[in-house]
Structure 1
Amino acid sequence: MDVLDIARWQFGITTVYHFLMVPLTIGLSVLVAVMQTAWFRTGKPHYLAMTKFWGKLMLINFAMGVVTGIVQEFQFGMAWSAYSRFVGDVFGAPLAMEGLVAFFVESTFLGLWIFGWDRLPRAAHLACIWAAALATNVSAFFILAANSWMQHPVGIAFVDGRPRLTSIWAVLTNPTVLATLPHTLAGSFAVAGTFLVGVAAWHLARKHRDTPKDHPDRTVWRASLRLGAWVGLAAFAAVAVSGDVQGKLMFQQQPMKMASAEALCNTESPASFSIFAVGDVARRDCESVKSVTVPALLSFLAHGDFSTEVKGVNQLIGEYQAKYGTTYPNDPALGSLAGKPINYVPSLPVTYWGFRLMIGFGGIAALAAALALWLTRRDRVPRGRWFHRAALAAIATPFLANSFGWIFTEMGRQPFVVVPNPNPSGVDGVWLYTAQAVSRGVSAGEMLTSVIVLTALYAALAAVEGFLLVRYARAGVPGVMPEYGAAPSPAGEDKPAEDVLAFAY
């Protein structure tokens, strides 16, 4: 592999891993704030127990998210310096805003919340967790604004071969980010809701199948489970609605991505939606692919009617070649790709199956939430072991849905890292090929070494986070409120487990 391939693998690995932490932090921070608000208003102790238990898990995940997120910033300079020079004038503003929100507002108020128990007035302490939670979500907005500009450049003038920011308001109100933000936030709440369901179901099934309904610990887990299930269902509905809006924007802004999502070889009018395919979807002749389809559904997803024509990959190739050229510029910075033909078609297996896996895992998460609500109606607790095992397994589904969604989003725009935008709302003539964005001053050996080191480091961090989350999730409410019972020792001893986050409580 050359430097470009290695750099793409590096950024893909670190980004997907980092985004495993992000949605859980975004969703869980708001849910913890809701729990503390319920305790503030009612004074019921089980809401306090929920706040402290889920707050501890949130803090563990937040810390890992910060550590892994810092690496993303370094890669812009190390592996993608040409990209950084091209987009720097635009990205400087939203990334600076994100830094101020994330590292000043979010971190400051989260620190006050951690150390403020029994030190701050209850109302002030509650305000701290809300400030941290809202800052987390606003921070996501600025990151998405930067990413959406790459998908749909707006608010700039093209000067001396580079985009120059002319309107930060246009960047922040980009129609792409206005559709992406609710979709991403809804996906984050789906992650947090399913996480609550899985952990709470485990505690209910293992410890509270036969305890009285008014047992305080049982009340905590049942309330957590049902809150998570309702949030998961609502989030899935929001994902579906916002995803429909995104699909219609994709049809306008990135028609090749739309065609690649369906592995649509040739133009259809009306266009059918492929549920799944058997055969080699990488072939653009479609001769070996047999697909189960829903007639005219793709036309509806693209334009809101059942008759719109959706262009196929083979027809779009000619259009892209006519607009953007058939070969890469004869630029030495492009290395072996200089002057070579441009492949405007993304990896069809990745885009086709990534899109379906995103929808499929999201649907499983919604089904798990609905099943949890049904099985716990009228104070019931399922007695079979299958319930808590299924709920635990379902925790992974929204994480996978989010990951496949982002892989589809980023891979579907290739070979561009900044996608050309010929639409009236954007600035025509602004684009950057991924091959032009990579750092040419870094050797393949250096890049490969960094990939190996970062992957090994992230694997170690994953093991640490997994250990901490499992340890404190198993400890349950006594781990944060000893009056609910003695916290079990992880080694099976008679003494309580040492709590490395005890300072927070």
Structure 2
Amino acid sequence: MDVEILSRIQFAFTIAFHYIYPPLSIGLGLILVIMEGMYLRTGNKLYEQMTRFWIRIFALIFGIGVATGIIMEFEFGTNWATYSKYVGDIFGSALAAEGIFAFALESGFLGILIFGWNRVSPRVHFFSVIMVFLGSMFSAVWIVVANSWQQTPAGFHIVGEGMNARAEITDFWAMVFNPSSVDRLTHVWIGAFLAGSFLVLSVNAWYILKGKHLHIAKPAFKIALVVALVSSLSQLLSGHSSADGVAKNQPAKLAAMEGHFDSASAAPMYLFGWVDKKNQQTKGLAIPGGLSFLTHQDFNAPVTGLNAFPEDQRPSQINAVFQLYHLMISIGMLLIALTVYATWLWYRGKLFEKKWLMMIFAFSVLLPQIANQAGWFAAEMGRQPWVVYGLLRTSDALSKNVKAEQVLFSLILFTLVYTTLFVLFIYLFNKKVKHGPVDAGTPEPIEEGSKRDNPVLQH
């Protein structure tokens, strides 16, 4: 394999592995805000114990996430020097903002979150939970803004020519609010809420199946279920808005996602299928005119196909983009079905009677992760052959002095290191889950509206 393919594989591997953790920290941060908020409102010690337990899990996720994310910044300089020079002014401001406003906020208050119990007042501790959650949210803002600028560049001009060309910001806020940033950020946030909520659902479903810590597991499951239900339904709307943006700003990517080669009116929307690139046809189950309706609210509106673009300006791995995009959508619909059904059972008072459903929820932690990864891969592969859409080709963004064997060696090394980190994460996570949320004694079951031992009243 040549340098370009190896460099793309290396960056895809490192960022995909890193992206296991930030969505979990964002989603879990929201759950922590709700749990500790419930503790302040009711004074019930069970909410305190579940908050303490999930803070320990959060700290583990945060630590591994930081360790796996640092390496990507070095890859920009080692493997993608031309790209770094071209987008340095854009990425520099966004990544600096991420470090100053987001990472510092999150890591600064994390110390209070972990060690502040009984050292600061409950309200100050709750404030630190909120700040950690907002820090994780802000971190996503700047990373997604930087990536969205690559998809839909705005607020810049080109300085220099040829190898010396680079993008320079002319309007900071136009760069931040580029045509795709808001839609993509919303989509990423909701995906993170799903990842975090389904982690909590998974662990507590396992406790319920094992008959352990039921007085804590059941209310924690319900908290996570509410977040998962709202998030899964919201993601349906967010995904539609994001797809509309892709249709407007990156029609070649949309054509690849939906497997359309020829521009046509009444374009069908495939529920599943297989793209035959050689014969330029897609076979599968489709809704006639569905894509035209979703993108233009008209079943007969024309949709641009891949053949409207030069072959060297459209994605090469069309079937992969198609399958990943539809995998994301399929999982999204499954998450909606799971959460709606579970909520209906809760309403009927039978939520925890279905052991098979708890078994599904125990393994459901994988679903949002797979959907998040599939969505990102579809978005990035669909952007090809551009690393900055319409401006800088991926093949031109490489470092000029890096050799294939050097990239291959570092890829093997990263694989070994990341595998070790993942094994360590699973071991520590499993150890914490087996220990459970109870530190000492067994507190009373939760009573709705209870005000006993209310820490707010005590302070």
Please confirm whether the aligned pair reaches a TM-score higher than 0.5, indicating the same fold: yes
The question of 1:442 aligning with 2:437 is answered no
Whole-Å Cα distance in 2 between the matches of residues 72 and 351 of structure 1?
A: 23
Q: In 1, are the aligned partners of 2:208 and 2:218 still within 8 Å (CA)?
A: yes
Q: Please point out which of 334, 342, 356 is paired with 2:326.
A: 356
Q: How far is 1:484 from its partner?
A: 3.0
Q: Could you tell me which residue of structure 2 aligns to residue 336 of structure 1?
A: none
Deviation per residue, 1:429-476 (Å, 9 max, x gap) = xx1000011112111111000101101111111111111112211221
SS at match of 1:472: helix
Q: How far is 1:56 from its partner?
A: 1.2
* Number of matched pairs: 439
Aligned-partner residue type, residue 29 of structure 1: G
Q: Could you tell me which residue of structure 1 aligns to residue 55 of structure 2?
A: 55
Deviation per residue, 1:147-169 (Å, 9 max, x gap) = 00000111111221321111111
Aligned-partner residue type, residue 177 of structure 1: S
Aligned-partner residue type, residue 442 of structure 2: Y
The question of 1:418 aligning with 2:411 is answered no
Whole-Å Cα distance in 2 between the matches of residues 201 and 370 of structure 1?
A: 16
Q: In 2, are the aligned partners of 1:251 and 1:303 still within 8 Å (CA)?
A: no
Q: Could you tell me which residue of structure 2 aligns to residue 2 of structure 1?
A: 2
5 Å-filtered alignment, 1:240-251, equals: 240-251=236-247
Which deviates the most, 382-391 or 231-240? Answer: 382-391
Whole-Å Cα distance in 2 between the matches of residues 472 and 367 of structure 1?
A: 30
The question of 1:164 aligning with 2:177 is answered no
Q: How far is 1:53 from its partner?
A: 1.3
5 Å-filtered alignment, 1:206-355, equals: 206-207=210-211, 217-278=213-274, 280-286=275-281, 289-317=282-310, 342=312, 344-355=314-325
Q: How far is 1:283 from its partner?
A: 2.7
Q: Please point out which of 188, 209, 217 is paired with 1:205.
A: 209
The question of 1:462 aligning with 2:422 is answered yes
5 Å-filtered alignment, 1:174-189, equals: 174-189=178-193
SS at match of 1:157: strand
The question of 1:74 aligning with 2:69 is answered no
Q: Could you tell me which residue of structure 2 aligns to residue 119 of structure 1?
A: 119
Q: In 2, are the aligned partners of 1:354 and 1:405 still within 8 Å (CA)?
A: yes
Q: In 2, are the aligned partners of 1:272 and 1:299 still within 8 Å (CA)?
A: yes
Aligned-partner residue type, residue 235 of structure 1: S
Aligned-partner residue type, residue 466 of structure 1: I
SS at match of 2:113: helix
Q: Could you tell me which residue of structure 1 aligns to residue 455 of structure 2?
A: none
SS at match of 2:265: coil
Deviation per residue, 1:169-228 (Å, 9 max, x gap) = 1112223111111111111111111111111111112115xxxxxxxx423211111111
Aligned-partner residue type, residue 283 of structure 1: K
Q: In 1, are the aligned partners of 2:103 and 2:136 still within 8 Å (CA)?
A: no
CA RMSD of aligned residues (A): 1.7
Whole-Å Cα distance in 2 between the matches of residues 446 and 240 of structure 1?
A: 43
Deviation per residue, 1:23-78 (Å, 9 max, x gap) = 11111012102211111121011111111111111111111111111111111111
The question of 1:368 aligning with 2:338 is answered yes
Whole-Å Cα distance in 2 between the matches of residues 53 and 378 of structure 1?
A: 29
Q: How far is 1:343 from its partner?
A: 5.6
Q: How far is 1:383 from its partner?
A: 5.0
Deviation per residue, 1:248-281 (Å, 9 max, x gap) = 1111111110100011111110211011125x53
Q: In 1, are the aligned partners of 2:187 and 2:235 still within 8 Å (CA)?
A: yes
5 Å-filtered alignment, 1:80-119, equals: 80-119=80-119
SS at match of 2:310: helix
Deviation per residue, 1:79-135 (Å, 9 max, x gap) = 111100000011111110001123321100111221211111111111111111111
Q: In 2, are the aligned partners of 1:183 and 1:238 still within 8 Å (CA)?
A: no
Deviation per residue, 1:389-410 (Å, 9 max, x gap) = 2112211011100000000000
Q: In 2, are the aligned partners of 1:82 and 1:437 still within 8 Å (CA)?
A: yes
Aligned-partner residue type, residue 461 of structure 1: L
Aligned-partner residue type, residue 407 of structure 1: F
Q: Could you tell me which residue of structure 1 aligns to residue 27 of structure 2?
A: 27
Q: Where in structure 2 are there 5+ consecutive unaligned residues?
A: 444-459
Aligned-partner residue type, residue 317 of structure 2: S
TM-score computed with the length of structure 1 as normaliser: 0.84
SS at match of 1:14: helix
Whole-Å Cα distance in 2 between the matches of residues 285 and 36 of structure 1?
A: 55
Whole-Å Cα distance in 2 between the matches of residues 284 and 437 of structure 1?
A: 31
TM-score computed with the length of structure 2 as normaliser: 0.92
Q: How far is 1:303 from its partner?
A: 2.4
Q: How far is 1:298 from its partner?
A: 0.5
Q: Where in structure 1 are there 5+ consecutive unaligned residues?
A: 209-216, 319-341, 421-430, 486-505
Q: 1:382 to 1:198 in 2, by over 3 A?
A: same
Whole-Å Cα distance in 2 between the matches of residues 484 and 343 of structure 1?
A: 63
SS at match of 2:384: coil
Aligned-partner residue type, residue 452 of structure 1: I
- Higher RCO, 1 vs 2 (CA within 8 Å, ≥6 residues apart): 2
